[in-house]
Amino acid sequence: MNKTIKIQDLGNKDYKQTWDYQEQLFKDIVDTKIKNRREDAGLQTENHFLFVEHPHVYTLGKSGDFSNLLLNEEQLKEKGAVFYKINRGGDITYHGPGQIVGYPILDLENFFTDIHKYLRFLEEMIILTLEEYGLKAERSPGETGVWLDVGTPFARKICAMGVRASRWVTMHGFALNVNANLGYFDNIIPCGIRGKAVTSLNVELAQKTVDEVEVKEKLLKHFTKLFEAEFIKS
């Protein structure tokens, strides 16, 4: 089993270009697995972790409801945003500047073959990171992602998640609001859930900006421990 993960920080990158890149990495891993099974090749599969920040974009999961996007094509242009229907789970979400997006592209057979556990570990990574900033983040029953003040009228989502998995290979991932412009969430019904607010780390800490490099370091620290993995820069 290969528990080494190649990490790349793509900086600010177009959503479609990043999606295509994910698809290629995903395909390479799946192709290796198919070759191993057909030819008993014994090749190691690679694991990747991409950090990225996207220009304003709305994405709708394969089971999502298009009506949860509250903008028409012209209004999207006015907002400087684009829209994609994509192949992850979940409903609609927003990505944009000030948000840390993470895409783990892993062969789970290198770690464990349990998608439920995988999602819980991603949530736990976020929860442990936010704990370092003095925030008590939680899961909300029946709702993927990470929230604050669950079970109260003030419940608000700080991290969205949506993944795809095939042959135990994952893609897509999480989006943690760190210095996000929350106004862009007003143009959707986030994750298809009405009546729930969205927040950002800088808002919760009453800071103008939070150091995103530091947040990424904390995320990787907790990811490494949870998955018993080792990161190398690609």
- The reply, when asked if residue 5 is annotated as ligand binding, is no
- The reply, when asked if residue 171 is annotated as ligand binding, is no
Give the CATH number of the domain where residue 53 resides: 3.30.930.10
Catalytic (active site) residue 191: yes
Which residue among the candidates 25, 57, 105, 191 is catalytic per the annotation?
Answer: 191
Structure confidence by residue, pLDDT tens digits, 1-20 = 899 999 999 999 999 999 99
Which residue range(s) make up the domain with 174?
4-233
What is the domain count for the chain? Answer: 1
- The reply, when asked if residue 173 is annotated as ligand binding, is yes
- The reply, when asked if residue 84 is annotated as ligand binding, is no
Q: What is the residue-level pLDDT of the chain in tens, covering all 234 positions?
A: 899 999 999 999 999 999 999 999 999 999 999 999 999 989 999 999 999 999 999 998 887 888 889 999 999 999 999 999 988 877 888 999 999 999 999 999 999 999 999 999 999 999 999 999 999 999 999 888 999 999 999 999 999 998 999 999 999 999 999 999 999 998 988 655 555 789 999 999 999 999 999 999 999 999 999 999 999 997
CA–CA gap between residue 192 and residue 167 (Å, rounded): 28
Kindly report the pTM of this predicted structure.
0.94
